[in-house]
Amino acid sequence: MRIVAFGRYLCILLFLAAICAHITEGDQPTVKVTEMKGKVPAENAHITRYYVDKPSLDSGYETGDLHIIYSDKTEIIETLPPKEKSTEKNIVENQEGIEDVKIAPDQRTIGWAMTFDNCCTSYAIPMVLAIYRSGDTVLHIQQGQTLWHWMFLDGGKQAAASWGPTHGPFGGDYQLYDVKTGHLVSEVFGDPKTQSLSPDAPEWAKETEQQK
């Protein structure tokens, strides 16, 4: 019984240490840029609609590819990468789908959440925020935890997101980004006790919290 109790106590300490480390580090999120294959829409073209394919029965994915349709008839397709097999020495967290797609007010910028395998749940969780600005590259922002909510601000020049653990007492890590670079502009944390932001939190964070 003492061994079990100690194990639980150690897990709690490690969990709290991870949260504290994240709060005190204040690092920039991980930002990656990938190339978008296919024709680039004209500079005066705007997004008219989008849709996400349903997965085929034998695909093993939760969704299909994302299609973005423009006023100049250009169609951009964000395809899901091929899955890799995990080994004893290398556990692969494959992308499983695309969800929570949003178009910015400028009608030229679009974003979505990328879901991935998760070791601790029976379902995939959103871990990356992807942003496409009608060019030849896609910006990927990853904070290290689950993407709870996100939205565009300032007409699409900025994006705000809230991150946190899949389960557990944490008020949320709210981050504001420059859409061109993915650079962290501002950050504020929610209160774990109330599971919400304080009354004096910035407006951009409160707007993001309302996306719940």
Looking at residue 9, its pLDDT comes to: 38
How confident is residue 115, by pLDDT bands cut at 50, 70 and 90?
very high
pTM: 0.84
Is residue 161 within 8 A of residue 174, CB to CB? The reply is yes
Backbone angles phi, psi at 7, to 5 degrees: -60, -45
Mean pLDDT of the chain: 86
Backbone angles phi, psi at 94, to 5 degrees: -80, 150
Looking at residue 20, its pLDDT comes to: 41
Above 50 in pLDDT, residue 76?
yes
Residue identified by tokens 């565009």 is 152
Looking at residue 90, its pLDDT comes to: 83
Looking at residue 27, its pLDDT comes to: 61
Above 50 in pLDDT, residue 82?
yes
CA distance 54 to 65: 8
Angstrom CA distances, 42 to 39, 50, 63, 137, stand at: 9, 17, 28, 15
DSSP track, 109-126:
-EEEEEEE--TTSSS-EE
Closest alpha carbon to 112 in 151, 77, 84: 151
Above 80 in pLDDT, residue 3?
no
Is residue 136 within 8 A of residue 40, CB to CB? The reply is yes
- Comparison of pLDDT for 209 and 121, the residue scoring more: 209
Above 50 in pLDDT, residue 17?
no
Looking at residue 37, its pLDDT comes to: 79
Strand partners, 32: 140
Above 80 in pLDDT, residue 50?
yes
Query: Which of the residue ranges 18-22, 161-165, 188-192, 198-202 would you say has the lowest mean pLDDT?
Result: 18-22
Tokens of residue 53, six digits: 């394919």
- Comparison of pLDDT for 40 and 9, the residue scoring more: 40
Above 50 in pLDDT, residue 34?
yes
Single-letter amino acid, residue 166: T
CA distance 65 to 122: 22
124-159 per-position pLDDT tens digit: 999 999 999 999 999 999 999 999 999 999 999 999
Looking at residue 39, its pLDDT comes to: 87
Cite the DSSP H helix spans in the chain.
Answer: 2-25, 203-209
